[in-house]
Amino acid sequence: MSSKSQKAVLVRGLSKRYRIPGRNNGGRAQTFWALRGVDLEVDPGEVVGVIGRNGAGKSTFLKVLTRITPPSEGFVELCGRVGSLLEVGTGFHPELTGRENIYLNGAILGMRRAEIRASFDAIVTFAGVERFLDMPVKRYSSGMYVRLAFAVAAHLRSEILLVDEVLSVGDADFQRRCLGKMRDAASGGRTVLFVSHHLESVAALCSRAVVLESGQVSYDGEVSGGLRAYAQAFGKVSRVSARRSPGSIPNSGVAIVEVEPANPCFGCTESKRIRVQVSCGREQRVPYFVSLHVVDARGAVLLQCDSRLKGGWIRPEEGAHSRVDLEFVLRGPWLKPGCYRIDAFVCASGILDRLEGAAEFTVVPPLPYEGGIPEEATAQGAVLPDFEWSVVQRSCGASPPVDGALSGPGTLASAVNG
Amino acid sequence: MEPEDAPPQKGAEGEDSSRKIRRIQPAEGWGGEQLFAWARELWEYRDLLWSLAVRDLRLRYRQTALGVLWVVFQPLAGAGIFAVVFGWVAGFSKGKEHYFLYSMAGLLAWNCFQSTFLKASMSVVANGALVAKVYFPRMLLPLSTVLSTMVDLCIGLGAFSVVAWTEGCPPSFGLLWLPCWVGLGLLFALGMGMMAAALMTRFRDVQHVLPMLLPFFLYATPVAYGLESVPERWRMILGLNPVSWMVQGVRSGLCRFEGVPWNGMVYSTGVALAAFLVGGLCFRRMERSLADVL
């Protein structure tokens, strides 16, 4: 084995079995496989996102990799020093001061004392707790606590970094710094295994995705494909049950047979093709139109794709039973990652047929913007804007706004400068 | 274990010794064949051992008004109670000129054993949150309890020497044997503590049993009385307890040196070593599956 082909992480047939004490079946213990035959090879410097639903085995996988729990079968080989960020703040003691906790936590994470001393200032600066170093951490705000904990862990010099959901804590600014730190780790040639639910950070950070599904690897490859596979795995369990309610015109003979997206998941900017099949009885004489509503997870109707807006009405076959296949292509606007429901309507002078929750599709990250995007930058809008901005005019040394209400543009300009 | 998977040692020693391959595989047996790697790992984590020990020390008297004074008060108060109950009421002090010192020396030795044993046995369960989240050699937890015991002992010895000086009791050459006896006691305490800790991860009953059994053990150990004042046939039985020899030895070194009881020394060394080995193996067997049972 030459050192070039040496994998940073090599996992072969990894299985983890738990015994569940059975009360239901006569007290016999049942076995449950949290992991079943997982194979994985990670090259040095790769950043791999491990995603999967709750209970898919992600945490067990990390626990085995970090040697917290031994595997039942198979083996793992890790080449190089391993650092893990399993839960921020583990090993912090509330009664100890920030300074004492830095040393303690560093040692728990496997750092030598000299190493901690060397990066002590960097840790304190990163966490921004200079003034509170000699205060017990139980008096810290939760934000400071988390920042300090992450800072210690982030300064552990290891070849392999195992990260579990750390980004779910802290404010947006801190999350961005964490992501930046992890990106640095990756670009510095370190191998990162990142286990997360947070698909956007996986998309932003990882070069490869592994999807775990009931303890097995169901996908291993490109990130975009991984996010799709993950969304599909989601789709398997939560199917919206379509609810058909009678239209206002009874016995029209017009019915929506099927609504189906071309793909169960789309990228944010991708054209979303949705096929609709409508059957039309011979009773129907007058033209009708089809309308699709795209409803987001909160129940807001985002888009009303009404066929009247583009080309108008559909004329039924004269005196014959007909079946029409339509295709809607939704190009804009960009949708935010998430789950969407389609309600379909067929109408003439009133509603002929309606099918709520006729189909469902998922929009998966990455976001169509450059750089690390804090979550709150997209939190407010219902959809994602396709926009540009630029500084048109900048006035330097202009007299400060007299009116307090005019301070807005000033701060904006300083923000741009900063 | 497949023999072909011996980890390839790569790179020059000086160049990058940390870049070695670590293999994680199912835990099996007592893991004796990896004992060497495991010992080396303990050594690599020596800084954590120190940090954990310092943490315990720091935490003990934080937010107490008297702080470290408690370390002095406790043995003094204990010896005072012993002097009153056993020396004065029960009349154990017959033929002993400095009974207060006598019982204080015995208590110092006993506390050495007891606090290490209790803390070591509780150490894993008490640090459950840590154990479930981060890997480190678990044995550091019981081992780290030794430091605070040593600090207690040193402070206690300081208090003892002050009392001895006021009572006009000069130190003897027997003092040189003190580290030896203390070491034996700690070894035995750690061994028993690790056994108890291993058992406690599965059966929390141990947590309740220990505080109940320890007083019995205390009275069965010649702390308030001397081994020589026990009837011949009972002396044999009390002599089976290595802590008896340790307490006797420490006390003889501190109060009036009566020579080293070699048979007792050899016997208790053997028992302490055996206890430490068995305790260590039990602990090691339990250590890998710890996160699943805790």
Tell me the residues of chain B between 225 and 254 that have a Cβ less than 8 Å away from chain A: none
One DSSP character per residue, B115-169 reads: HHHHHHHHHHHHTHHHHTT--S-TTHHHHTHHHHHHHHHHHHHHHHHHHHHHTT-
How many residues would you count in chain B? 294
Give me the mean pLDDT over the A387-413 stretch: 62
Label residue A143 by pLDDT band (50, 70, 90).
confident
Between positions 115 and 154 of B, the ones with CB within 8 A of A are 129-136
Which residue on chain B is closest to A7 by alpha carbon?
A: B21
Write the pLDDT tens digit of every residue in B6-19: 333 333 333 344 45
How confident is the model at residue A154, as a pLDDT?
A: 79
Lowest mean pLDDT among A105-114, A130-139, A244-253: A244-253
Partners of residue B132 in chain A, C-beta under 8 Å: 68
Nearest to B98 by CA among B164, B161, B171, B172: B164
Query: What distance in Å separates residue B134's CA from the closest CA in chain A?
Result: 6
The verdict on a CB contact (< 8 Å) between A104 and B51 is yes
Contact B23 A93 (CB under 8 A): no
The DSSP element (H or E) to which B247 belongs, if any, is helix B242-254
- Please choose, from the candidates B133, B144, B146, the residue with its C-alpha nearest in 3D space to the C-alpha of residue B290: B133
pLDDT for the residue numbered A19: 80
Query: Taking the CA of residue A280 as centre, how many other CA atoms within 13 Å lie in the half-sphere pointing to its CB?
Result: 24
Chain B residues touching A84 at Cβ < 8 A: 134-135
Band of pLDDT at residue A404, cut at 50, 70 and 90: very low
Please tell me the predicted confidence (pLDDT) of residue B183.
Answer: 93
Contact across the interface for A81 and B11, Cβ inside 8 Å: no
Kind and range of the H or E element at B194? helix B178-202
First to last CA, chain A: 51
Residue A338 has pLDDT above 50, yes or no: yes
Asked if B134 and A75 come within 8 Å (Cβ–Cβ), the reply is: no
Provide the pLDDT for residue A83. Answer: 81
Q: How do strand A243-246 and strand A265-267 relate by DSSP bridges? A: unpaired
Residue A77 is nearest to which of B21, B58, B289, comparing CB atoms? B21
Chain B interface, best mutation among A96, A108, A164, by max B CB count within 10 A: A108
**For residue A252, what pLDDT is reported?**
67
Best of B22, B62, B201 to disrupt the A interface by mutation (most A CBs within 10 Å)?
B22
The more confidently predicted of residues A182 and B113 is: B113
CA end-to-end span of chain B: 27
Q: How would you write chain A as a 3-class SS string?
A: CCCCCCCCEEEEEEEEEEEECCCCCCCCCEEEEEEEEEEEEECCCCEEEEECCCCCCHHHHHHHHCCCCCCCEEEEEEECCEEEECCCCCCCCCCCEHHHHHHHHHHHCCCCHHHHHHHHHHHHHHHCCHHHCCCEHHHCCHHHHHHHHHHHHHCCCCCEEEEECHHHCCCHHHHHHHHHHHHHHHHCCCEEEEECCCHHHHHHHCCEEEEEECCEEEEEECHHHHHHHHHHHHHHHCCCCCEEEECCCCCCCEEEEEEEECCCEEECCCCEEEEEEEEECCCCCCCEEEEEEEECCCCCEEEEEEHHHCCCCECCCCCCCEEEEEEEEECCCECCCEEEEEEEEEECCCEEEEEEEEEEEEEECCCCCCCCCCHHHCCCCCCECCCCCCCCCCCCCCCCCCCHHHHHHHHHHHHHHC
Q: How far is CA B282 from CA A331, B125, B152, in A?
A: 66, 16, 28
- Residue with the two structure tokens 């076959």: A317
- A237-276 pLDDT tens trace: 444 455 666 665 666 678 888 888 887 788 888 888 988 8
- A268 token code pair: 């944010």
Q: Which pTM value belongs to this model?
A: 0.71
Q: A79 and A43 in contact (C-beta within 8 Å)?
A: no
pLDDT at position B117 is 94
Reported as half-sphere exposure (CB side, CA atoms, 13 A), residue A385 has a value of: 8
To the nearest whole percent, how much of chain A has pLDDT over 70?
A: 82
Stretch A297-312: mean pLDDT, rounded?
83
Q: Cα dist. A72→A13, A36, A193, A397 in Å?
A: 10, 10, 21, 70
Residue of A nearest to B5 (CA): A77
Q: Which of A63, A78, A100 sits opposite B58 (nearest CB)?
A: A100
Predicted confidence at residue A399, as pLDDT, reads 60
**A65, A76, A107 ranked by CB distance to B47: nearest:** A107
Residue A407 vs residue A229, higher pLDDT: A229
User: Cβ contacts (< 8 Å) between B52 and chain A: which residues?
Assistant: 104, 107
A256: which strand partners? A278
H helix or E strand, kind and range, residue B24: strand B21-24
- Out of A72-76, A329-333, A396-400, B69-73, which region has the weakest mean confidence (pLDDT)? A396-400
- The single-letter DSSP state of residue B173 is G
In total, the C-beta contacts within 8 angstroms joining chain A to chain B are 110
B64 in reach of chain A (CB within 8 A): no
Contact flag B26-A78 (C-beta cutoff 8 Å): no
Chain segment B276-285, per-residue pLDDT in tens: 999 998 898 8
pLDDT at B32: 60
Measure the CA–CA gap between A346 and B56, rounded to whole angstroms. Answer: 73
Confidence of residue A23 (pLDDT cuts 50, 70, 90): low
- The answer, yes or no, to whether ipTM is higher than 0.85 is no
Residues of chain B short of pLDDT 50, as ranges, are 1-18
Would you call B59 and A79 a contact, using CB atoms and an 8 Å cutoff?
no
On chain A, the residues whose CB falls within 8 A of the CB of B289 are 69-70
State the smallest CA–CA distance between residue A59 and chain B in angstroms.
11
Cα distances (Å, whole numbers) of residue A312 to A75, A179, A260, A290, A320: 63, 48, 21, 9, 21
Question: How does residue A54 score in pLDDT terms, banded at 50, 70 and 90?
Answer: confident
- pLDDT in the model for residue A2: 43
Q: Which residue of B has its CA nearest to A76?
A: B24
pLDDT, position A27? 60
Mean predicted lDDT score pLDDT of chain A: 79
The predicted structure's pLDDT at residue A81? 83
Sequence-distant (≥ 6) Cβ neighbours of residue A87 within 8 angstroms:
A164, A166, B133
Closest residue in A to B62 (Cα–Cα): A95
In sequence order, the β-bridge partners of residue A339 are A362
Indicate the residue of A65, A75, A90 with minimum beta-carbon distance to B134: A90
pLDDT number for residue A241: 52
- CB-CB neighbors (< 8 A) of B288 in chain A: 70
- Closest-approach residue (CA) in chain A for B63: A95
Q: What amino acid is encoded at A362 in this protein?
A: T
Whether the per-residue pLDDT at A169 is higher than 70: the answer is no
The Cα A288–Cα A351 span in angstroms is 9
Q: What is the mean pLDDT of residues A376-384?
A: 80
Task: Check A95 against B135: CB less than 8 A apart.
Answer: no
- Give the H/E segment covering residue B70: helix B69-82
**Cβ-based neighbours of A395, under 8 Å, separated by 6 or more:** A413
